[in-house]
Amino acid sequence: MQSHIFSCPVRWADLDIYGVVNNVSFLRLLEEARVDLVWRTGSQDRREGDAFFEGGSVVVRHSIEYRKPLFYTYENVDIEMWVSDLKYSQVTIEYVVRDGEKVYAVATTTMAPFNYAGKFPRRLTDEEMRFFLGYLNSGKRASGRELPPPEQSRGISVSVETRYGI
């Protein structure tokens, strides 16, 4: 199957006091990539809605493994993403944030379809399933590029995981 690559600008406002992209900004970059995947490559006749067409969705879980500090750059970084798990009740998207062979982060987002009007979980529609199946790759590395192993830590390891129940 295929992956989707979003060429993402790093903005000055993404930096923290230490001059690196802040962890919260990383989540925003991933969100921009996810929205680009669905809105740019999904159904072109949608005018409103959210990341799952007009049906609605919620983020259930985020996980980010930071590999290298991402500093401000004039060049965009690539965020490659693909679907690693797909069920009618949820979709899991994996990402690699990189500049060439330099990997800054690997991440995972699990989202669930949600009916905001009725305030209850829903199932993916057949259209949504067909769309996400096009990006499904249950094995890592949809593009075929190898992901380098994590470097040896020099004493500090940072991992962020956020879960929301629905």
Do the domain assignments include residue 124?
Answer: yes
Say if residue 147's pLDDT is above 70. Answer: no
Q: What is the pLDDT of residue 2?
A: 86
- DSSP lists the bridge partners of residue 5 as 80
Confirm whether 151 is domain-assigned.
no
User: Which long-range contacts link 38-45 to residues 24+ away (Cβ below 8 Å)?
Assistant: 38/131, 41/4, 41/131, 42/131, 43/127, 43/131
| Helix/strand number for the chain, H first, E second | 3, 7
- Is 48 inside a domain boundary? yes
Q: Evaluate whether residue 108 is within a structural domain.
A: yes
Domains identified in the chain, total number: 1
Name the residue range of residue 114's domain: 4-137
159 domain-assigned: no
**Cα dihedral 117/122/128/129 (nearest 10):** 180
User: What's the average model confidence in pLDDT over 5-18?
Assistant: 92
13 in any annotated domain: yes
What CA–CA distance (Å, rounded) separates 99 from 78? 6
Q: Is the dihedral of CA 104, 107, 113, 114 positive or negative?
A: negative
User: Please, which residues bridge with residue 103 across strands?
Assistant: 98
Residue 162 resides in a domain:
no
Query: Would residue 154 count as lying in a domain?
Result: no
CATH assignment at residue 60: 3.10.129.10
Render pLDDT for 86-136 as a digit per residue (tens, 0 to 9): 999 999 999 999 999 999 999 999 999 999 889 999 999 998 899 899 999
pLDDT exceeds 70 at position 154:
no
CA separation for the pair 129, 86 (Å, rounded): 8
Residue with token string 């006749």? 45
In the prediction, which pLDDT does 55 show? 76
